[in-house]
Amino acid sequence: MKPLAFVFPQINRIELNISTVLVLVAALFLAITSGIFAAYGNLYLLIALLGVYGALFVLIVPTSWIVWMIFFSAFLITGPSAYFIRFTQIQWLTVLISASLYLPVIFNILQSKINVLYRRFSINLFLPVAFIFLAVLSSIINHSQFTDILHASRHYFFMWSLMLVFAFGLVPPETFVKIWRALLIIAVLQLPMALYQYFFVARQDARMSPWDAVIGTFQGNIEGGGDSAAMAMMLIIAILTSIALWREQNLKLGWMIWVVIAGIATMILAEVKAMVMLLPVPIALYYRKELVKKPIETAVVMIGVLLLVGGILTAYKDIHYDTSATRVNSAYDSIVNAITPNPGEDSAHVGRVTLLVNWWNNNVVHGEVHNTIFGYGIGAVHSSKAQRGKIASLYEYKIAKTTSVILLWETGILGHLVFLMILLFGAKASADAAKTEYIPSIHRVLLRAGAISLILLVITLPYSNFHLFSIPTQFLMMLMLGQSLYWSNSIKSKNFSKLL
């Protein structure tokens, strides 16, 4: 009786008794139905029934519980399961749990008043809707295969519910802080995992780039590598957040030092040169306002960061290149190879610039206006053991290496532009909210860190595909977009109430 009274505080005792009876009858009906379906052994009926149970679970338990389930699954369960026991299908469970959050979002919208909905509607909500619409439209007009849409759906559709949950306040603001603090712990945990992967996996491997096996707790394969770039992005965000929290006296100095050391050590073991070169960017953005106020301190910090970056890139030669069979002699050689376009290349090591050049030559140069603007439909460049998309099947090598390449092929220039605007407008909303004094200080720190992190996601669009293919990165992206929307809505509501 007590849990129901908590869920339905407005109803009287008679209505509560009726609700209790209805719940018991529904539970009894589901139990009987489950027994019948189990007796027949129909797999599809059982899957449908599991979906019903899942929906009821999501509606009954607090939304914050579901968010934490997704967090721990994304950062600690999905990756190691795929890495050690090759159970890659568990990533579907994570994104489906995220998709189930659309149910409480829909109920929240239906219960909201019109003026609340009006205040919540903004360009930051319109852009994600427009992006999903363009993805669907591109698939329809290109008559995409159902299997392509199915495989790509988890990359395009399911994780946006998290952003809405955060934006609409379905979890309390205190949860934002707890998630950010938990992220710092996740960052520290990457080091022991990376140490094991480097000494007991990579050092025993004779392939061309054994360091690809160092991916922490992120998604990947023990033999073929994985989301090391996504792990490095998370580490940079965690380092930035720890420094920001420490400077505002919201984190102890020891914790900040531990996060920074663990993050840098992990990136050294993982060989993520492009992400290492990105390190000065968040620090420069964070200290930009203090350039005039504290020029000496800012200069010392930036020089220290640049020396650190140079030291890490130099260390890669001794730690990775000299101990492997790769033809790369230094980080400089690797960077030059990556940015040198070679459209005629058809090996497994086609560079990111080459992939963009190939898209340009096959669409813009050939006058494919329709496909240049709208793409070929989601899943077109998707490649898996089961099937290959219609564009992926035309190439001997993997082309879905970067988010920019994926979006240009699958949603066209229009879809890529909208996705870019989502990140940019989210960063602006987060930065603007961070300037509001009545917002608690710790939230303003996290909003500022979120704004800078979203800019980093913009910069890395042509570098990696973790914006779409990495569940942990998508979780962080939705957290940062959601918290910016939540506080923006809070500011609008406060200003709106002043006008009444």
Domain boundaries along the sequence of the chain:
1-60, 124-499
Q: Are 161 and 105 in contact (CB under 8 A)?
A: yes
Residue 39: C-alpha distances to residues 29, 32, 51, 63 (Å): 15, 11, 18, 33
Provide mean pLDDT across the span 373-395.
86
Read off the pLDDT of residues 235-282 as tens digits, 9 standing for 90 and up: 999 999 999 999 999 999 999 999 999 999 999 998 888 899 999 999
For the chain, the residue count is 500
What's the rounded Cα separation, in Å, for the pair 179 and 446? 11
Predicted pLDDT at 418: 97
Q: Which residue has the tokens 């009274």?
A: 5
Predicted pLDDT at 148: 85
CB atoms within 10 A of CB 397: 15
What's the rounded Cα separation, in Å, for the pair 80 and 220? 8
Residue 218: C-alpha distances to residues 224, 228, 268, 377 (Å): 13, 7, 16, 28
Residue 42: C-alpha distances to residues 29, 47, 429 (Å): 18, 9, 49
Residue 343: C-alpha distances to residues 76, 94, 156, 257, 338 (Å): 39, 37, 28, 45, 13
Predicted pLDDT at 444: 96
Predicted pLDDT at 299: 82
Is residue 187 very low, low, confident or very high in pLDDT (cuts 50, 70, 90)? very high
Mean pLDDT score of the chain: 83
Task: Enumerate long-range contacts of 161-164, CB under 8 Å, 24 or more apart.
Answer: 161/98, 161/99, 161/100, 161/101, 161/102, 161/105, 162/67, 162/70, 162/98, 162/101, 162/474, 162/475, 162/478, 162/479, 162/482, 163/128, 163/478, 163/481, 163/482, 163/485, 164/101, 164/102, 164/105, 164/482
CA 388 to centroid of chain Cα atoms = 24
Predicted pLDDT at 492: 76
Q: Which residue has the higher pLDDT, 181 or 91?
A: 181
Predicted pLDDT at 41: 54
Q: Are 79 and 226 in contact (CB under 8 A)?
A: yes
Predicted pLDDT at 1: 40
Q: Which residue has the higher pLDDT, 84 or 188?
A: 188
What's the rounded Cα separation, in Å, for the pair 222 and 233? 20
The end-to-end CA distance of the chain, in Å, is: 40
Which tokens sit at 267?
């990136």
DSSP letter (8 states) at residue 340: S
Is residue 127 very low, low, confident or very high in pLDDT (cuts 50, 70, 90)? very high
DSSP letter (8 states) at residue 294: S
Give the HSE-up count for residue 269: Cα atoms under 13 Å, Cβ half-sphere.
26
Predicted pLDDT at 15: 46
- Tell me if the pTM is above 0.75: yes
Predicted pLDDT at 147: 84
Read off the pLDDT of residues 1-24 as tens digits, 9 standing for 90 and up: 444 444 444 444 554 455 455 555
Predicted pLDDT at 314: 84
Provide mean pLDDT across the span 325-351.
60
Predicted pLDDT at 353: 87
For the cut 90, the answer to whether the pLDDT of residue 421 exceeds it is yes
Q: Which of 144, 52, 147, 162 is nearest to 99 (CA)?
A: 162
The fraction of the chain above a pLDDT of 70, given in percent, is 78
Predicted pLDDT at 173: 93
Provide DSSP, 209-266: -GGGG--TTSSEETTTEE-HHHHHHHHHHHHHHHHHHHHTTSS-HHHHHHHHHHHHHH
Helix, strand, coil: what percent of the chain each, to 5? 75, 0, 25
Q: Are 176 and 443 in contact (CB under 8 A)?
A: yes
Give the HSE-up count for residue 291: Cα atoms under 13 Å, Cβ half-sphere.
8
